[in-house]
A and B are shown apart, each in its own frame.
Chain A
Amino acid sequence: MTRRVATEAARLTALFEGQGARHVDADILLSAETLLDLYGEDIRGRAYLTTDPFGGEMVLRPDFTVPVVQMHMNSEADPARYTYAGRVFRKQETDPSRPREAVQVGFEVFDGSDPAGADATVFAAVADALAGLPVRAATGDIGILMAAVAGLKTSDTRKAALMRHLWRPRKFRALLDRFGGRVPPAPSRVALLAQADPLADAAPSIGLRSRGEVQARIDALRADAATAPISGDEMALIDAILSLDDSCPHVLSSLRDIAVDLPAIDGAVRAFAARLDALSGKGVNVDALAFEGSYGRTSLEYYDGFVFGFYAAADYLMPPVATGGRYDALTARLGAGRAVPAVGGVVRPDLVVALRGDV
């Protein structure tokens, strides 16, 4: 960390402490178990893994969120606010010019009493920290898409499949097209279901996946084949949500229109409206704040509500200067049954310094 980056990191940390955050630290070398469980093999392509003779697989901290959540879950504090500053490490498998390590300064708020207020607190704190810099903000809300999927008039199996691939846009689209009858089922699927008993001539079972599991999936496939396609109207509503791209007030009015035909998103739209009020209350000019319906879907599967990022206005190649969002589902999975609504954001002090140099 150069002196200027360290100075900037200290400034950011002090700003977040001014918001009532307690300064915490995390180990650089973490047990990989939690991350592997959350993200599977993808994490191996994105983080540095190594093995410890006693601790098993270890990972160089790819971000602070998971260790800070774990620390919070082991404490009794609630609500709580935290800030931290330190390096994170990301493996680069395609572009060797991208940095393998970067300094992050973060601000996390664990508070279930007022989600809109907590979202606004984090966003406004990050926006204030970047005040005067040539950056533009982008926002989104994964919760609206989740509510829309949950409200589709189709089987729970199909909803679960869509929900599972919410963060893989291409796969999500392929599933939606198939469930909507826009794409015919694979010939192998048709052939399988044409047989009265597909398992009649099956080879002997080997491995852990039992014959019963195969039969259960065939039954599920038969049920799915008998399920009516998702209607063109509902498909259009999902498309409308995904293609939202406007200032927040315009998006709110579009969402209210969509909610007339898709009442399942009512709650999520009300939460969005409440967030806009809370942001205004914190001095954020929401009339000029951009919202994208698909924003935040390609990150690791942390975020399940409000998502945001700040980007250099004049440099499209620069990584985001700050990113953040709500990750209630992550705390639920790490909390062994105890969920604590949480929202947070991180700032890259080195990029702040670089941008300030350009001002």
Chain B
Amino acid sequence: MLKLGVPSKGRLMDKTFAWFGDRGVSLRKSGSEREYSGAVDGIGGVELVLLSAGEIPRELVAGRIHLGVTGSDLIREKLAAWETRVHAIAPMGFGGADLIIAVPQAWVDVETLDDLDAAAAAFRATHGFRMRIATKYHRQVREFLRDNGVADYQLIDSQGATEGTVKNETAEAIADITSTGETLRANGLKILGDGLIHASQATLFRGRRDGWTDAQRVTLKELESLLGV
């Protein structure tokens, strides 16, 4: 059996079902609406596993599922050296969201990462602590800022309502996912010109194939040809 992990609820699940359906593979929840078990038609040897999008990276690496649909941002955030541990089979064209750095609109002097770095140095000298950037995407933000030579900042963990942290004075800037930027603007924030960390979308990933049976490999080939990927 080839286990395919799919987000268990919401628009991400509906759009994933539609994406597979358009390609002749029908995925559906079995049993009652509240039950997290699924069924697959149109191909044999594939089992549907419904689980949280945030758990799919971990399950792929552990080999408990063989394929999984999740946001590329989650794969990057949760898996160190993700390229060596999972393979992106196909971007799916939905669930698009950008991980960006945003600062207050009132900072007319800060439009680029270089500006942010210089402002951070001055901020630290003035306030005695490092400029705080609120995010839940610690790894990606840290690597991005390091690669772009931004220093004198610190990351503050924010698991929700991140756009409000600046107004609440628990952070000076944020790094968050946005699709239209509307919430950012409503909270007095703007995106840095070169502040795009990652353009995320729902993606079909495969785990490493060591330990796969011949039958599983054949099923994958068949599925890939059905999906046209």
Contacts of B117 in A (CB 8 A): 171
Task: Give how many B residues have a beta carbon under 8 Å from the other chain's beta carbons.
Answer: 41
- Chain A interface size, as a band, is 35 or more
Known contacts A164-B151, A186-B114; decide if A203 and B80 are in contact (CB<8 Å): no
Q: Does A41 contact B (CB under 8 A)?
A: yes
Known contacts A40-B151, A96-B81; decide if A214 and B167 are in contact (CB<8 Å): no
Q: Does A226 contact B (CB under 8 A)?
A: no
Known contacts A41-B142, A206-B166, A217-B119; decide if A188 and B111 are in contact (CB<8 Å): yes
Partner of B143, one of A45, A174, A217: A45
How far is A178 from B142 in the complex, measured between Cα atoms in Å? Answer: 25
B121 and A168 contacting across the interface, CB-CB below 8 Å: no
Stretch touching chain A among B33-41, B99-107, B207-215:
B99-107
A41 and B154 contacting across the interface, CB-CB below 8 Å: yes
How far is A36 from B132 in the complex, measured between Cα atoms in Å? Answer: 13
Contacts of B121 in A (CB 8 A): 161, 164
Cβ < 8 Å to B, chain A residues 211-251: 211, 213-214, 216-218, 220-221
Q: Does A3 contact B (CB under 8 A)?
A: no
Interface string of A165-176 (1 = CB under 8 A from B): 100101100100
Q: Does B118 contact A (CB under 8 A)?
A: yes
Q: Does B155 contact A (CB under 8 A)?
A: yes
Contacts of A164 in B (CB 8 A): 121, 151
How far is A220 from B108 in the complex, measured between Cα atoms in Å? Answer: 14
Interface string of A292-319 (1 = CB under 8 A from B): 0000000000000000000000000000
Q: Does B78 contact A (CB under 8 A)?
A: no
**Most A CB within 10 A of own CB, among B149, B171, B172:** B149
Interface string of B135-160 (1 = CB under 8 A from A): 00011001101100101111100000
**Most B CB within 10 A of own CB, among A36, A45, A95:** A45
How far is A199 from B142 in the complex, measured between Cα atoms in Å? Answer: 31
Q: Does B122 contact A (CB under 8 A)?
A: yes
Q: Does A132 contact B (CB under 8 A)?
A: no
Cβ < 8 Å to B, chain A residues 148-173: 161, 164-165, 168, 170-171
Partner of B105, one of A186, A189, A203: A203
A186 and B108 contacting across the interface, CB-CB below 8 Å: no
Contacts of A204 in B (CB 8 A): 106, 188
B153 and A216 contacting across the interface, CB-CB below 8 Å: no
Closest to B147 in A: A170
How far is A214 from B119 in the complex, measured between Cα atoms in Å? Answer: 8
Known contacts A186-B114, A188-B111, A192-B111; decide if A206 and B106 are in contact (CB<8 Å): yes
Interface string of B180-224 (1 = CB under 8 A from A): 000000001000010000000000000000000000000000000
Partner of B109, one of A92, A95, A198: A198
Contacts of A165 in B (CB 8 A): 149, 151
B122 and A41 contacting across the interface, CB-CB below 8 Å: no
Return B167 CB to nearest CB of chain A, in Å: 5
Closest to A224 in B: B118
Q: Does B112 contact A (CB under 8 A)?
A: yes
Known contacts A188-B112, A207-B166; decide if A168 and B107 are in contact (CB<8 Å): no
Contacts of B169 in A (CB 8 A): 207-208
Q: Does A113 contact B (CB under 8 A)?
A: no
Known contacts A209-B172, A218-B109; decide if A203 and B188 are in contact (CB<8 Å): yes
Q: Does A23 contact B (CB under 8 A)?
A: no
How far is A150 from B80 in the complex, measured between Cα atoms in Å? Answer: 39
B80 and A94 contacting across the interface, CB-CB below 8 Å: yes
A186 and B112 contacting across the interface, CB-CB below 8 Å: yes
Q: Does A202 contact B (CB under 8 A)?
A: yes
Contacts of A44 in B (CB 8 A): 138, 142, 155
Cβ < 8 Å to B, chain A residues 2-41: 36, 40-41
Contacts of B130 in A (CB 8 A): 40
Q: Does B94 contact A (CB under 8 A)?
A: no
Q: Does B123 contact A (CB under 8 A)?
A: yes
Return B224 CB to nearest CB of chain A, in Å: 28
Closest to B105 in A: A203
How far is A42 from B148 in the complex, measured between Cα atoms in Å? Answer: 13
Partner of B104, one of A45, A161, A206: A206
Return B54 CB to nearest CB of chain A, in Å: 20
Contacts of A74 in B (CB 8 A): none
Q: Does B225 contact A (CB under 8 A)?
A: no
How far is A41 from B172 in the complex, measured between Cα atoms in Å? Answer: 16
Return A163 CB to nearest CB of chain B, in Å: 11
Q: Does B32 contact A (CB under 8 A)?
A: no
A218 and B108 contacting across the interface, CB-CB below 8 Å: yes
A40 and B153 contacting across the interface, CB-CB below 8 Å: yes
Known contacts A93-B80, A93-B81, A217-B118; decide if A209 and B107 are in contact (CB<8 Å): yes
Closest to B141 in A: A41
Known contacts A164-B121, A206-B167; decide if A213 and B108 are in contact (CB<8 Å): no
Nearest 5 CB-CB pairings of A with B: A171-B149, A188-B111, A203-B105, A207-B166, A205-B106
Q: List 15 A-B contacts (CB under 8 A).
A: A44-B155, A93-B81, A171-B117, A202-B105, A202-B106, A206-B166, A206-B167, A207-B104, A207-B171, A209-B104, A211-B106, A213-B126, A214-B107, A218-B108, A218-B109
Known: A42-B142, A164-B121, A209-B172. 6 other contacts (CB 8 A): A40-B151, A45-B143, A96-B80, A192-B109, A207-B169, A207-B171
